[in-house]
Amino acid sequence: MESRKEEVIVTIHMENETNPKTTELLELHKKTDTRKITVLDDEFIHYVTLDTTVMDGLISKCILTIGDREEIMKQSSLSERNRMIISTLMARPYSTFETFTEELVNFEQSKMVLVSKLRNYDCSGDSRLPSVTTKDMNNHTIQLQKNFKVLVHQLATTESIGDHLISAEILCPEDYAEICDQITKEQKNRLLLTKLMHKDADAFKCFLSVLKKDTCYEELARRIERTDVTDKDKILLQIGRTAAKKKNENTRGIQICVETENIIPKNIQGIP
């Protein structure tokens, strides 16, 4: 039986140039595109795993943010998480397709045939990274993020690390219990890192100190400390944060409209 085909479409809408609330990102990236990627639904959306190592790699390259990961993991099924990952990548105003397919092939060589069937959704003008103002960017958080994939797969156990972080009051017992409830070590590491990336610089230093005390992780700690944080990294993350903020604002606006319709009688709303 021929597989069903599904077309995932994301439209990037430009705000009116005369609107004073137009964001810097949108002002610098003036275009309206409908990007399309056609995939074999049964073979790709339902059976390719994007929400583990592939997503780890995209986070480490600052294309996806930790906030993106948290929203993606709220989806109840693999297919829904896959759709959200692809939609997020397509909505970025710069090229992501090549990086996405590289991470996918690196994770699963067996998926080469499926990758070859993907239609490149990047547009001709996407090779140039928009210039945006970055703010509230902590270097230690970005250093952790750029090593996200390595840490997820190289930390053998979170128990001893978690004990030290609890003693230092970096993690609370509830955080630690939530981490321990995860099934695999990779899942535990992802959640630990996610929580650490919401902490301050002191928590980061404490984490590195814990790693250095273990000869197995001493070089890993040095690697994190030596990780360069570039302007490009900050721009990529700022774009991701701006997109997430706009999406949340739109979602809240929809919720308010629904609540208004449910609470206020239509005759008062002026609806016939």
Q: Can you give the CATH number for the domain in which 185 is found?
A: 1.10.533.10
On the question of pLDDT at 44 being above 70, the answer is yes
CATH number at residue 73: 1.10.533
Q: Give a yes or no: residue 178 inside a domain.
A: yes
Name the residue among 69, 215, 77 with its Cα closest to residue 156.
Answer: 215
Task: Say which residues have a Cβ less than 8 Å from residue 89's Cβ, sequence separation at least 6.
Answer: 58, 63, 64, 96, 97, 100
Longest dimension (CA), the chain: 73
Q: Are residues 124 and 162 in the same domain?
A: no
Per-residue confidence (pLDDT) for residue 262, from 0 to 100: 57
Q: Are residues 34 and 105 in the same domain?
A: yes
Chain-centre distance of CA 126, in angstroms?
Answer: 19
Residue 137's Cβ-side half-sphere holds a number of Cα atoms within 13 Å equal to: 24
Q: Which whole number is the average pLDDT over 96-109?
A: 86
Contact status, residue 88 vs residue 64, Cβ threshold 8 Å = yes
Contact status, residue 87 vs residue 10, Cβ threshold 8 Å = yes
Chain-centre distance of CA 140, in angstroms?
Answer: 18
Per-residue confidence (pLDDT) for residue 61, from 0 to 100: 96
Q: Give a yes or no: residue 99 inside a domain.
A: yes
Which tops the pLDDT comparison, 199 or 249? 199
Segment (H or E) for 34: strand 33-40
Q: Are residues 47 and 119 in the same domain?
A: yes
Q: Are residues 120 and 10 in the same domain?
A: yes
Summarize pLDDT for 55-79 with one digit per residue, the tens: 999 999 999 999 999 999 999 999 9
Q: Give a yes or no: residue 47 inside a domain.
A: yes
Q: Which whole number is the average pLDDT over 38-44?
A: 58
Q: Give a yes or no: residue 69 inside a domain.
A: yes
Q: Are residues 165 and 105 in the same domain?
A: no
Q: Are residues 94 and 69 in the same domain?
A: yes
Q: Give a yes or no: residue 262 inside a domain.
A: no
Q: What angle do CA 240, 67, 107 make, to 5 degrees?
A: 85
Which tops the pLDDT comparison, 176 or 135? 176
> Where is the domain boundary, 187, 206, 226?
226
Contact status, residue 207 vs residue 171, Cβ threshold 8 Å = no
The one-letter amino acid at 173: P
Q: Are residues 99 and 153 in the same domain?
A: no
Which pLDDT band, with edges at 50, 70 and 90, does 206 fall under?
very high
Contact status, residue 132 vs residue 238, Cβ threshold 8 Å = yes
pTM of the model: 0.77
Measure CA of the first residue to CA of the last residue in the chain; give whole Å: 50
> Where is the domain boundary, 202, 226, 250?
226
Q: Give a yes or no: residue 233 inside a domain.
A: no
Q: Which residue has the tokens 């197995």?
A: 216
Q: Are residues 202 and 112 in the same domain?
A: no
Q: Are residues 25 and 93 in the same domain?
A: yes
Range of the domain at 179: 148-226
Contact status, residue 92 vs residue 129, Cβ threshold 8 Å = no
Interatomic CA distance for residues 123 and 97, integer angstroms: 10
Report the domain count for the chain. Answer: 2
Name the residue among 206, 198, 217 with its Cα closest to residue 156.
Answer: 217
Q: Are residues 210 and 93 in the same domain?
A: no
